[in-house]
Structure 1
Amino acid sequence: MSKEIKWGMIGCGNVTEKKSGPAFSKVPHSELVAVMGRNPEKAADYAQRHGVPKWYSDVDALINDPEVDAIYIATPPDVHLDYATRAMKAGKAVYVEKPMARNAAECEAMNQISRETGVPLFVAYYRRALPYFLKLKELVEQKVVGDIRLVTVQIHYQAYAEEVGENAQPRWRVNPQISGGGHFHDLASHQFDFLEYLLGPIKSAQGISRNQAGLYEADDIVVANFEFESGILGTGSWCYTLNREQRLDEGQIIGSKGKIIFSFFEKFHIKVLTAEGEEEYYLPYPEHVQQPLIESIVQELRGEGTCPSTGETGARANAIMDQITKP
Structure 2
Amino acid sequence: MDTVRWGIIGVGDVTETKSGPGFRHAERSELVAVMRRDGAKAADYARRHGVPRWYDDAEALLNDPEVDAVYVATPPDSHRDYTVRALEAGKPVYLEKPMARTTSECEEMLAAAERAELPLFVAYYRRSMSRFATVQELLDGGAIGRVHAFRVENLRPAPAAGDQVPWRLRPEISGGGLFVDLASHTLDLLDHLLGPITQVHGHALNISGTSQAEDTVSGTFQVGSAVVGTGLWCYAAGEDRDLVEIIGTEGSLAFSSFGQEPLRLRTGSGVREIEAPYPATVQQPLIQAVVDELTGVGVSPSTGTSAIRTARVVDTLLADYRSEHGFIFA
Deviations 1:260-289 (A, max 9, x none): 110000233101000111111111111100
Asked if the contact 1:205/1:323 (under 8 Å) is kept, the reply is: yes
Deviations 1:144-175 (A, max 9, x none): 11111111000100123xx32xx442200111
User: What SS class does the counterpart of residue 203 from structure 2 fall into?
Assistant: strand
Q: Which amino acid aligns with 2:201?
A: Q
Task: Say yes or no: does 1:239 pair with 2:256.
Answer: no
Aligned to 2:245: 252
Q: Which amino acid aligns with 1:274?
A: T
Moved over 3 A (4+): none
Deviations 1:96-125 (A, max 9, x none): 000000011111110111111101100000
Matches of residues 194-205 of structure 1 in structure 2 within 5 Å? Answer: 194-205=189-200
Measure the CA separation in 2 of the matches of 1:269 and 1:13: 30
Aligned to 2:57: 58
Measure the CA separation in 2 of the matches of 1:262 and 1:229: 23
Asked if the contact 1:211/1:219 (under 8 Å) is kept, the reply is: yes
Asked if the contact 2:260/2:278 (under 8 Å) is kept, the reply is: no
Aligned to 1:318: 311
Asked if the contact 1:8/1:71 (under 8 Å) is kept, the reply is: yes
Measure the CA separation in 2 of the matches of 1:171 and 1:325: 20
Aligned to 2:324: none
Measure the CA separation in 2 of the matches of 1:61 and 1:10: 11
Measure the CA separation in 2 of the matches of 1:152 and 1:128: 19
- Number of matched residues? 320
Q: Which amino acid aligns with 1:57?
A: D
Q: Which amino acid aligns with 1:77?
A: P
Task: Say yes or no: does 1:171 pair with 2:170.
Answer: no
Asked if the contact 2:158/2:208 (under 8 Å) is kept, the reply is: no
1:216 to 207, 211, 214: 211
Matches of residues 1-327 of structure 1 in structure 2 within 5 Å? Answer: 2-160=1-159, 163-164=160-161, 167-243=162-238, 246-327=239-320
What is the RMSD computed on CA atoms of the aligned residues?
0.9
Measure the CA separation in 2 of the matches of 1:159 and 1:10: 31
User: What SS class does the counterpart of residue 236 from structure 2 fall into?
Assistant: strand
Q: Which amino acid aligns with 2:256?
A: S
TM-fit CA distance, 1:87: 0.3
Q: Which amino acid aligns with 1:147?
A: R
Structure 2: any 5+ residue segments left out of the alignment? Answer: 321-330
Q: Which amino acid aligns with 2:8?
A: M
Measure the CA separation in 2 of the matches of 1:315 and 1:32: 27
Q: Which amino acid aligns with 1:151?
A: F
Measure the CA separation in 2 of the matches of 1:97 and 1:323: 21
Asked if the contact 1:200/1:230 (under 8 Å) is kept, the reply is: no
Measure the CA separation in 2 of the matches of 1:173 and 1:124: 17
TM-score, normalisation: structure 2: 0.95
Structure 1: any 5+ residue segments left out of the alignment? Answer: none
User: What SS class does the counterpart of residue 38 from structure 1 fall into?
Assistant: coil
User: What SS class does the counterpart of residue 137 from structure 1 fall into?
Assistant: helix
Q: Which amino acid aligns with 1:253?
A: I
TM-fit CA distance, 1:70: 0.3
TM-fit CA distance, 1:3: 1.2
TM-fit CA distance, 1:12: 1.1
Measure the CA separation in 2 of the matches of 1:83 and 1:248: 35
**Sequence identity, in percent?**
47
User: What SS class does the counterpart of residue 242 from structure 1 fall into?
Assistant: coil
TM-fit CA distance, 1:26: 0.3
TM-fit CA distance, 1:203: 0.6
Measure the CA separation in 2 of the matches of 1:170 and 1:252: 33
Measure the CA separation in 1 of the matches of 2:168 and 2:135: 29
User: What SS class does the counterpart of residue 235 from structure 2 fall into?
Assistant: strand
Q: Which amino acid aligns with 2:23?
A: F
Measure the CA separation in 2 of the matches of 1:156 and 1:168: 24
User: What SS class does the counterpart of residue 326 from structure 1 fall into?
Assistant: helix
Q: Which amino acid aligns with 2:303?
A: T
Q: Which amino acid aligns with 1:132?
A: R
TM-fit CA distance, 1:230: 3.9
TM-score, normalisation: structure 1: 0.96
